[in-house]
Structure 1
Amino acid sequence: MIETLIRKLERRDTLADFERRALVEAVGEVREYRAHEIVVRERTEQHNSHLLLEGYLCRYKDLRDGRRQIVALHVPGDFADLHSFLLKHLEHNLAALTPVRIAVFPHERLRTISERWPHLTRMLWFSTLLDAAIHRQWILSIGRRSAVGRIAHLFCELRARLEVVGLASEERYALPLTQIDIADATGLTPVHVNRMLRELRDRGLLEFRGGEVIITDNAGLARLAEFDPGYLYLQKQPR
């Protein structure tokens, strides 16, 4: 059930059998949410953290006039709000972008892990540090990359993250998001996103159609995006 999480962690370090069992036993239940449904509302007290099993989640903030900024995209294998274990509430919303399945980890069980299994605790800590590294790249994209560079970088990043959990090849992966979702993640308008997607297609780099990204020139896309996967810490080493 939580194979994607184990695969994600074991890409970076080896887990012992008892650590895998501890993660499985920490699951309280599995829930399903519809697309666009809020999973966690900001400023509400939290007693669980949520692991994405299927689909896409986002963290977002919005303004009074309804304008939304997506501040993180989550793929299967991601803990979307592990930080709520210590913070007790979120200052942002967590919502489903597509239909999703989520494993719920009660905080009392995460506390047991933190008290009994130090290496596994470090690996969970690592996952929150990885989120922070991704956030820094997103800030760089919105602050300094060109519009086409932002979208190219996002597509490169998602391919790398999905490949870790076996959901992407070198050439393609499923991305059932709308152009509005991509606009809200990159700080662009939907019209601008549409133009940039057309530019990427015309350059022979990728196509985005039918909820799928088809990469026709991986090296060229990475050059355009200035994509360096080092911030994803994909090397396996003791932690």
Structure 2
Amino acid sequence: MTGGHDLRYRSRLHDFSELTDADRLAIDALLDQRQRVISPRRDVVAEGDVPRFVHVVLEGWGCRYRQLPDGRRQILSLLLPGDLFDPHPQAVTRTDHAVGAITVMTVAEVAPDALAALSRDNRAVARALWWNNHVAMGTQREWIASLGLRSARERIALLFCEVHYRLRLSGRCRGLTCDFPLTQADLAEATGLTPVHVNRMVQELRREGLIDWEARTLTIHDLDRLGTIASFTPAYLHLDRAVAMA
């Protein structure tokens, strides 16, 4: 943790290396103004909503998703504790996807004008927002590449590696173990597979001694080998926590 900030209420922005303690306190003040708790499997933002806030996940897990009229759903990205999403709601009139809670979620709802004013007056905060966008866009590109290029086994291995790295960055791993409250159906929707296929691949990784996944926790016993299977390189997560901006 930085500057004694409570881990439960830490934003990804807090991890940006150029921020001072004063910058982080200014971000804290925005997060404290308005918070909302969302029940599991309920929408934080529904598709077609008029966007009103910048959201920061304070606790819990969520996802971006698209759902077709026949009920088929594709998870587009996972939202983990600390993630900031919809950083520029004033740029669109209606949302083109939904954001749903996987577990109980607590989100901060930040007024766009307040965040814009803070970033306008503070170059480091502006850079932190750029970094957040780099991470989100890089992750989206990797998921697209995964759906187009990776096998079922490789897709699942990649998702396990990515979640571990993201949670480790925010101080939420316990050694080799981290929270992983997805169901096999969720994992199927995130990887473009069927639940049956997901189950088969997960059992295979278990038999090889690479992972344990039970009781909503994931333990990766050999991260290097799992990363090799997935062709995982964490560069797209921009873990250097810095952005060049003229």
Unaligned runs of 5+ in 2: none
> Residues 113 and 120 of structure 1 are in contact (CA less than 8 Å); yes or no, is this contact kept in structure 2?
yes
What is the DSSP-based 3-state SS (H/G/I as helix, E as strand, rest coil) of the residue aligned with 1:45?
coil
Q: What is the identity percentage for the equivalent residue pairs of Structure 1 and Structure 2? A: 37
**After the TM superposition, which segments of 4 or more aligned residues of structure 1 sit over 6 Å from their partners?**
none
Kindly provide the amino acid, as one letter, of the partner of residue 186 in structure 1: T
3-12 vs 29-38, which deviates more?
Answer: 3-12
Are residue 13 (structure 1) and residue 21 (structure 2) matched? no
Q: Deviation digits for residues 123-167 of structure 1, max 9, x if unmatched? A: 112202210000011011111101010000000000000001111
Q: Deviation digits for residues 28-87 of structure 1, max 9, x if unmatched? A: 311111100101112221221110011111000011101000001011110122242433
Unaligned runs of 5+ in 1: none
Distance in 1 of aligned mates of 2:9 and 2:125: 12
Compute the displacement of 1:89 (Å).
3.4
Taking structure 1 as the reference length, the TM-score comes to 0.93
> Residues 55 and 100 of structure 1 are in contact (CA less than 8 Å); yes or no, is this contact kept in structure 2?
yes
Counting only pairs closer than 5 Å after superposition, residues 118-197 of structure 1 correspond to structure 2 as 118-197=123-202
1:220 matched residue in structure 2: 225
> Residues 6 and 20 of structure 1 are in contact (CA less than 8 Å); yes or no, is this contact kept in structure 2?
no
Compute the displacement of 1:206 (Å).
0.5
Aligned length: 239
Q: Deviation digits for residues 86-124 of structure 1, max 9, x if unmatched? A: 335321001101111111111121121133122211211
Distance in 2 of aligned mates of 1:112 and 1:72: 28
Taking structure 2 as the reference length, the TM-score comes to 0.90
Are residue 57 (structure 1) and residue 62 (structure 2) matched? yes
Counting only pairs closer than 5 Å after superposition, residues 15-164 of structure 1 correspond to structure 2 as 15-27=19-31, 28-164=33-169
> Residues 131 and 243 of structure 2 are in contact (CA less than 8 Å); yes or no, is this contact kept in structure 1?
no
Are residue 207 (structure 1) and residue 212 (structure 2) matched? yes
> Residues 4 and 165 of structure 1 are in contact (CA less than 8 Å); yes or no, is this contact kept in structure 2?
no
Compute the displacement of 1:7 (Å).
6.7
Kindly provide the amino acid, as one letter, of the partner of residue 142 in structure 1: L
Distance in 2 of aligned mates of 1:85 and 1:6: 24
Kindly provide the amino acid, as one letter, of the partner of residue 229 in structure 2: L
